[in-house]
Amino acid sequence: MARNTTQLTQPNKPKNVKRDPVASGERDAAVNRSASHDYYLEERYEAGIALRGTEVKSIRAGQCNLKDSYALLKDGELFLLNAHIGVYAPGAQFNHDTKRTRKLLVHHGELLKLNAAIQQKGLTLIPTRMYFKSGRVKVEIAVAKGKQLWDKRETERRRTADKEARDAIARSRRS
């Protein structure tokens, strides 16, 4: 007679299907923190980016920096310049140049809007963050206007005053 053995399992046990938080899109791969300090950020656009395989692997590993980078419109195409994507160590001879010019992919209508925006004096295109969306690398580009030194000081003063006000409110609630 065959013996019926039942194995106790937990049917509702959640599987750990999460990958790396950068690769799954939960966390940004790179953020240009100096952009909001140095520029007034107006409109933001999402753009794809044409990359090589070792560049994608380096971005997943968090080896990218947007600090001094900017976007440029040339011959009806959008390019990302001066963005640093580190070398992927196992890539060997297939590695990429770390600061090469990379093409940004946007719809034609957005390209026309960006072209009209940067025709105005003092406006430029600054990448603010790089992230993954549905397994693809995306770059957020902002139309930006440069700040003067006194503008930066005023922003810092306002930020400090807001923080002190929030702290005072929190202290009054506690007591």
Q: Supply the CATH number for residue 52's domain.
A: 2.40.280.10
At 174 the three-state DSSP class reads helix
Count up the domains in the chain and report the number. Answer: 1
∠ CA(138), CA(141), CA(147), 5° rounding?
150
In a domain, 3, yes or no: no
Q: Residue 102 is which amino acid?
A: R
What is the per-residue pLDDT across 94-103, written as a single tens digit (0 to 9) for each? 777 788 899 9
Spatial CB neighbours of 122, under 8 Å, sequence gap ≥ 6: 145, 146
Q: What is the mean pLDDT of the chain?
A: 84
In a domain, 82, yes or no: yes
147: closest CA among 135, 158, 161?
Answer: 158
In a domain, 20, yes or no: no
Q: Check pLDDT > 90 for residue 18.
A: no
In a domain, 101, yes or no: yes
> CA-CA distance, 164 to 127, in Å (whole number)?
31
Whether the predicted model's global pTM rises above the 0.85 cut: no
What is the per-residue pLDDT across 112-131, written as a single tens digit (0 to 9) for each? 999 998 888 889 999 999 99
In a domain, 165, yes or no: no
| Boundaries of domain holding 88 | 30-146
Judge whether 129 and 25 are in contact, CB under 8 Å: no
In a domain, 24, yes or no: no
In a domain, 42, yes or no: yes
In a domain, 4, yes or no: no
Spatial CB neighbours of 155, under 8 Å, sequence gap ≥ 6: 37, 147
126: closest CA among 42, 29, 59?
Answer: 42
